[in-house]
Chain A
Amino acid sequence: MKRRKALSTMAILIGGAMVSTETFFSSCKSDVKEAVFTKEDISLLDEIGETIIPATASSPGAKAAKIGEFMKVYVTDCYDAASQQTFFEAITRVKNLSEKKYGIGFLNLTIAERRDVLNELGKGKPATVVNKVKPVAGSGDAIQTGKEPQAKSKLKDVPNHYFSMLKELTLLGYFTSEPGATKALRYTQTPGYYKGDVPYVKGDKAWAT
C-alpha cells in the first residue's frame, strides 16, 4: 500500500469511522507508524497520560516520560488491528467528549475538566482495578528463577475498554521510563547483593524491577 493511501485510510479511521483495519494493518504494517500518529495526537496522549499520572512534589509525571511517544511505538508495534482500533476510538472519544461537554479541545481543559472527561470515557464498563487482588502465577521457569510475575503481556490481556486501555498504557510506559523507574520508584540495575529482609516504612517506594 502506498503511503498516501495509508494516510487517507488512517484519516478516516481517526475520524471515528468504523472501518475494518484488518486488511490495512496486515498488508502494510511498516507504513503505520508514520501514518497514524500526528503531532497533535502525541500531545493529546501526553496530556491524557499526565492526567492519569500527574507530576507531583516527589516525581515527574507521564508527560515527562514522553508517554505519547511511548504509546505511539507500543500501539503500532505490539497491538493487533482490533486493539489498535479500540485505541484510536478512545482518542476520538476523548476529543468528542471534550467538545460535547465543554465546547473546547482536551488540551484547553482544566485538570478537573480533564478528569471529568476521562471519567466519562470510563463509564459503561467498570474500571479495572489496577492492583488485581488475584495475583498472576507467571510461567514455571519464571518462578523457578525468582522472577516476580511481571506477566509477559499477551494480546488477550489488552483491555478492550477505552479508559482502561489508556490507563494501562500510561502505567506501563511511565513505570518503565527513566523518570518513572528512578524517581517515582526505586531502581538499580546492579543491586550488588540480595537481602531477604529490609525494614519497610509506609510510604517507601517500591522497586521498579
Chain B
Amino acid sequence: MGNINSKGINQNTYDAIVIGSGISGGWAAKELCEKGLKTLVLERGRNVKHLVDYPTMAKDPWDFPHRNDLTLKMKEDNPIVSKCYAFREDAMHFFVKDKEHPYVQQKPFDWIRGYQVGGKSLIWARQTQRWSKYDFEGPARDGFAVDWPIRYEDIAPWYSHVEKFVGISGNKDGLDTLPDGEFLPPWEMNQAEKMLQKRIMGNYKDRNVIIGRCAHLTQPKEIHLQQNRGKCEARNLCQRGCPFGGYFSSNSSTLPWAAKTGNLTVQPDSVVHSIIYDGKKNKATGVRVIDAHSKKITEYFAKIVFVNAAALNTNLILLNSVSTRFPNGLGNDNGLLGKYVAFQNYRGTLSANIDGFLDSYYYGRRPCAVMMPNFRNVHKQETDFLRGYMVFFSAYRSRGHFAGAEQMGEAFKEAQTQPGNWHVSMMMQGETIPKETNQVSLSKDQKDQWGMPLLSISVDYDDNDEKSLKDFLTQGAEMLEKSGCKNINTNDSKQAPGLDIHEVGGVRMGKDPKTSLLNKWNQLHACPNVFITDGACMTSTGTQNPSITFMALTARAANYAVEELKKGNL
C-alpha cells in the first residue's frame, strides 16, 4: 500500500472519527460534537446538502418524462435495485446502481444501498417503533442467538432522548408489546380503517390495531424549529428529500446540528479501507481512507472510532481491518464476525375489497399505515414457529369505477375521474432468527475499483420463515374475512432477503466475548475504543422497523464513550 500520508498526522487527527453519515452516523456525530469532541465524519459517497441537492422535491407528476416509471434501460442495468419500491424516476439518484458497486450473491440477496451524505436516511420508510421488553428477552427465552446484554430499561431513556429530537408522531396506546414514546400528535385513521380496527379488536382479544408511528413532524416543537424543520405537509413524496424538513434525515437534522457546534468535519467521497490497529497500544488509532476519485490513500487518526457504515458494509470494513493481532478482522477473536446476519420477512401481503363508506373520502397523503403489534408467541411459545410478525395495513379508495361495457368516450372518462370502492392492503414484517449460516465474508478473488474485496453474501430464509409467512397469510385472511372484507387475496412475493432493507447483525452484542463481538456499550470486546452502533450490532431483529433503535443505541454509546474518554479509559 503506497501513498500513506505519514507527515499529516497532526492535521489529520481528530478526537473522534465516525464512519458513515446515515441515520446512526449522523447521531454519533451530533452527540460527540455536542460534547465537545472534534469529529470527522467520513462518507463514501457524494455530498448531499439539505434542500440544495433535492432536485426533484418540487416536481409534479407531469414533470417526469416517464411519469415516475423506470425506463427499460434503467431496469435492465439495475435488476436488483429496480425491485425496490422507492427506486423510481423521482428518487433513483439517491440509490446505488447495481453496476457501480457489485457484490457476490452466494444466495439471492437484494442489497439496497444509498451512498451519499445522509445515506439511506434520505430514502428510508420512516416508521419508528420502540422495541418492547419481550423483544430484548426473546433470544434468551426461546434459545436462539445469544442473550442481549441490555434490556428495555437500559435503552428506554435513550429512545426518549432521540425521539424528542427526531420528532415522532404516534398515539399513546399503553401497550407493553409496543411501548409508547415521546409522541407528537398521531395521524388519523380513515373510516374503513376504523371499521377494521373495531372489528379485529372485537374478534381477537389478544390483538391491537393502532395508528402507525413515524418520524414526521405533525406539530413541530421548539427543538425542531431550532433545526429549521417545519411541519409535515402530508405530501408523501419523502424519498425525494423534503422541502419542509418534515421528516427526519441526517441531512435535515443531525448533521447541520452537529455542524453548528463548530466541531464537525464531514468528508464525502471517502471510502474507508480499514481501521488502523496499534498492537503496542492495544487500541485502534485511526482509519485508512481511499479517495473515491483519485484513489489516493490517506490516514486519519482519533481516540475513538464509531463504525456506522450500514450493517453489511460495517462488517466489510471490520473484516478488511486485519493486523498481526487480528488476522481475521478487527475484534474477531472468536471467528463470529460476519455471522448471525438476519433481516425481516416481507414476503406476505394480502388485499381485499371493503363494501360501503362511499360517502367518505380522505384529504392529504398520510406517510404511515395502521399497525398491529406482534401478537404471536408474545408471553409464551404458542405456535410451531419462533417469534412473530408486525402487521401493517392501509385502506384506500381506488380511482375509477366500472362504467359498463364502454371502454372509451364521455361516460368512460367520467367513471375514471371518480373514486371507486374501498380496498385494503396488508403486509407482514416478520422476525427472522439469526443463524451462523446466514453470513457475509470477503471475496477471496474479486475486488472493486478501489481495490476493496467484494462482500460475499450468503443469507437465506428457513423453515421458521416459511411457517411464519403461512401463519400471517392465514391469520390475515381470517381477520379480513371476519371483518366483512370480500375478494380476499393472499400473496407470497417470494422476494429475496435484502429487499426489506432491514438487514442487521454480523457484529452482534452479547455478554460473553466468546460468543459475541460487542459488549453492552457497543464496544468491540477486544478493541474497546471502536464502537459499532449501526444495524451490524443487533443480536436479534424484533418485528419493529429498526432505525429508531439504531439511533437510541448510538446516542447511548456516544455518551458513554465521552464519559470513558474523560475518565481516561479509552
- Which 3 pairs between the two chains have the least Cβ-Cβ distance? A196-B188, A194-B364, A191-B364
Taken together as a complex, chains A and B put the C-alpha atoms of A73 and B414 apart, in Å, by: 26
Given contact pairs A78-B66, A143-B393, A206-B399, a sample of 5 additional A-B residue pairs in the complex whose CB atoms are under 8 Å apart: A140-B392, A145-B368, A146-B366, A194-B188, A197-B188
Establish whether residues A192 and B234, one from each chain, have CB atoms under 8 Å apart when the complex forms: yes
User: B11 on the interface (CB 8 Å rule)?
Assistant: no
Q: Nearest Cβ in chain A — how far from B451, in angstroms?
A: 33
Task: Indicate if the CB atoms of B189 and A196 lie closer than 8 Å.
Answer: yes
Indicate which residue in A59, A129, A141, A194 contacts B362 across the interface (CB closer than 8 Å).
Answer: A194
- Contact status A140-B349, CB under 8 Å: yes
- Which residue numbers of A lie inside 8 Å of B, CB to CB? 29, 51-54, 56, 59, 61, 70, 73-74, 77-80, 115, 118-119, 122, 127, 129-131, 133-149, 152-153, 155, 163, 167, 171-173, 175-178, 181, 184-185, 187, 189-209
Which residue of chain B is the closest to A178 with respect to CB atoms?
A: B62
Q: Which residues of chain B have C-beta atoms less than 8 A from A209's C-beta?
A: 61, 365
> A194 and B363 in contact (CB under 8 A), knowing A115-B408, A146-B236, A189-B60?
yes
B266 at the interface (CB under 8 A from A): no
What residue of chain A has the Cβ atom nearest to residue B358's Cβ?
A200
Closest to A171 in B: B416
Residues from chain A with Cβ under 8 Å of B394 in the complex: 143, 146, 148
Rounded to whole Å, the gap between the CB of A30 and the closest CB of chain B is: 10
| B73 cross-chain contacts in A, Cβ below 8 A | 29, 77
Q: Give the docked Cα–Cα distance between A200 and B422 (Å).
A: 13
Which residue in B194, B233, B367, B417 is a CB contact (below 8 Å) of A146? B367
Query: Chain A CB within 10 Å — which of B66, B85, B233, B353 has the most?
Result: B85
Interfacial residues of chain B within 302-340, with CB under 8 A of chain A in the complex: none
Cα separation A190 to B402 with both chains bound (whole Å): 30
B65 at the interface (CB under 8 A from A): yes
Bound state CA distance, A197 and B416, in angstroms? 22
B493 within 8 A of A: yes
Distance, CA A49 to CA B187, complexed state (A): 40
> Interface stretch among B248-256, B376-384, B423-431, B553-561?
B423-431
**Is B397 among interface residues, defined by CB-CB distance under 8 A?**
yes
Once bound together, how far apart are the Cα atoms of A139 and B87, in whole Å?
Answer: 12
Which residues 537-551 of B have a CB within 8 angstroms of A?
A: 545
Show 24 A/B contacts (Cβ-Cβ < 8 Å), sorted by A. A29-B73, A51-B408, A52-B409, A61-B413, A77-B73, A79-B72, A122-B407, A130-B400, A131-B402, A137-B349, A141-B500, A143-B393, A145-B238, A146-B365, A155-B75, A178-B62, A187-B60, A189-B237, A191-B234, A191-B363, A192-B364, A193-B233, A194-B366, A207-B399
Contact of A135 with B351 in the complex, beta carbons under 8 Å: yes
* A135 / chain B contacts, CB cutoff of 8 Å: 351-353, 398, 423, 425, 489
User: Is the CB–CB distance between B426 and A137 below 8 Å?
Assistant: yes
- Residues of B close to A178: CB separation below 8 A: 60, 62
**Whole-angstrom distance between the Cβ of A161 and the nearest chain B Cβ:** 11
Map CB proximity to A onto B39-79 as digits: 1 under 8 Å, 0 otherwise.
00000000000000000001011100111111111010000
Beta-carbon nearest neighbor of B361 in chain A: A200
CB-contact partner of A141 in B346, B351, B352, B420, under 8 A: B346
Which residues on B sit within 8 Å (CB–CB) of A177? 61-62
CB pair A142–B407 under 8 Å, yes or no, is no
B417 & A206 in contact (Cβ 8 Å cutoff) = yes
B residues at A contact (CB < 8 Å): 58, 60-62, 65-73, 75, 84-86, 88, 125-127, 187-191, 193-194, 212, 233-238, 346, 349-353, 358-369, 392-394, 396-402, 407-410, 412-420, 423, 425-429, 487, 489, 491, 493, 495, 499-501, 545
A142 touches B418 (CB 8 A): no
Residues of A within 8 A of B194 (CB): 196
- Cβ of A43 to closest chain B Cβ, rounded Å: 18
Q: Is the CB of B362 within 8 A of A152?
A: no
- Please judge, given known A-B contacts A133-B353, A145-B367, A199-B359, whether A190 and B399 are in contact too, CB under 8 Å: no
Residues B234 and A204 in contact, CB atoms below 8 Å apart: no
Selected contact of B363 from candidates A122, A127, A195, CB within 8 Å: A195
The chain B residue sitting closest to A199, CB to CB, is B359
CA distance A82 to B329 in the complex (A): 50
B419 touches A137 (CB 8 A): no
Give Cα A204 to B187, complex, Å: 24
Complex interface: chain A residues within 8 A of B126 (CB): 145
Kindly state the separation between the CA atoms of A203 and B125 in the bound complex, as whole angstroms: 34
Which B residue's beta carbon lies closest to that of A30?
Answer: B73
Which of B60, B86, B425 gathers the greatest number of chain A CB atoms within 10 Å? B425
Nearest A residue to B112, CB-CB: A141
B413 pairs with A54, CB closer than 8 A = yes
Contact of B407 among A140, A147, A163, A198 (CB under 8 A): A163
Q: Which residue of A lies closest to B500 (CB)?
A: A140
List the A residue with the shortest CB-CB distance to B417.
A184
